[in-house]
Amino acid sequence: MPTLHIESEESDIHSRVIMPVDPNNAHYIATKFLEDFRVVNKKNGNLAYSGKYKGVDVTIFPSGMGIASMGLYSHELFIDYDVDKIIRIGTCESYKEELKTNDILLVDSSYSLTSFDTESGKEDLEIINSSTELNGIITSTALLQELKLSVGRVHTTDAFYTEEESFSRYTDIGCLAVDMETYSLLYNAKKFMKKATSLLVVNDSLVNHEIIDTESREKKLDEMIVLALESIIKN
């Protein structure tokens, strides 16, 4: 049954979901990597696709930008469409010199000062962990692909533009990078006893101000997409 924000029928959405931020990226993934794909959502311009990857049913559903949008869509996917696992794929900004542009970060936890947790679940949790099961599958899949992964905590922020002069308070509690979506995904997965994690390409560094070039970015995004697809079809 369609929800307030998703027009798909329950059978349109599969239990395995890859979530980029941008509908354009969802279109790119579906057309390049899926077989027999079809559009399963157009509501609010948030185009989503379902198809097969190596014969296994997979849905590519955009989260939209920010904690609130990811929280909304992942909530409805988990609850109304009985999605079992979600891998967010996207980009992040590095806080640490050793985490360089072009690196792929597998998130093991997310820190945030957002009010999302208190408003949606009456909890005050600054740190949420990723699914250890899903992360284990991704790690072993990356080894088979001879793909290097960094693993660690991401700071998920509500604000892209800030007046902060230093991000040391985030590195002091173990944050390697910053994004804008992971926390609410992991919170909803915890709340509804589902599996979720994030794979993030380091797009730029706040330490040395390097920015990934277009050619390298496309290559790394493709590597990350394949890693996410290969991992989510297992088990």
Per-residue pLDDT reduced to its tens digit, 3-18: 889 999 999 999 999 9
Number of domains making up the chain: 1
Q: Which two tokens stand for residue 141?
A: 């899949």
pTM above 0.75, yes or no: yes
Is residue 204 flagged as an active site residue?
yes
Residues 6+ apart with CB under 8 A from 119: none
The region, left, alpha or beta by phi > 0 then psi within -120 to 50, assigned to residue 122 is: left
Q: What is the pLDDT of residue 217?
A: 75
Neighbours of 33 (CB within 10 A): 19
Q: What is the pLDDT of residue 226?
A: 98
Residue 142 lies in a domain: yes
- Answer yes or no: is pLDDT of 209 > 90: no
Mean pLDDT of the 180-204 span: 97
Residue 87 lies in a domain: yes
Pairwise CA distance, residues 202 & 163, whole Å: 22
- Answer yes or no: is pLDDT of 116 > 90: yes
Average pLDDT, the chain: 95
Neighbours of 136 (CB within 10 A): 11
Residue 4 lies in a domain: no
Q: What is the pLDDT of residue 61?
A: 98
- Answer yes or no: is pLDDT of 213 > 90: no
Residue 154 lies in a domain: yes
Structural domain boundaries, residue 162: 10-232
Residue 5 lies in a domain: no
Residue 152 lies in a domain: yes
Residue 95 lies in a domain: yes
Pairwise CA distance, residues 179 & 89, whole Å: 11
DSSP secondary structure letters along 29-89: HHHHH-EEEEEEE-GGG--EEEEEETTEEEEE----SSHHHHHHHHHHHHHHS---EEEEE
Lowest mean pLDDT among 53-62, 106-115, 165-174, 178-187: 165-174
CATH of the domain at 32: 3.40.50.1580
Selecting among 57, 204, 213, 222, the annotated active-site residue is 204
Residue 179 lies in a domain: yes
Please answer whether residues 105 and 99 qualify as being in contact, where contact means their C-beta atoms are separated by less than 8 angstroms: yes
- CA geometry: angle at 221 spanning 19 and 135, to 5°? 60
State whether residue 4 is helix, strand or coil: coil
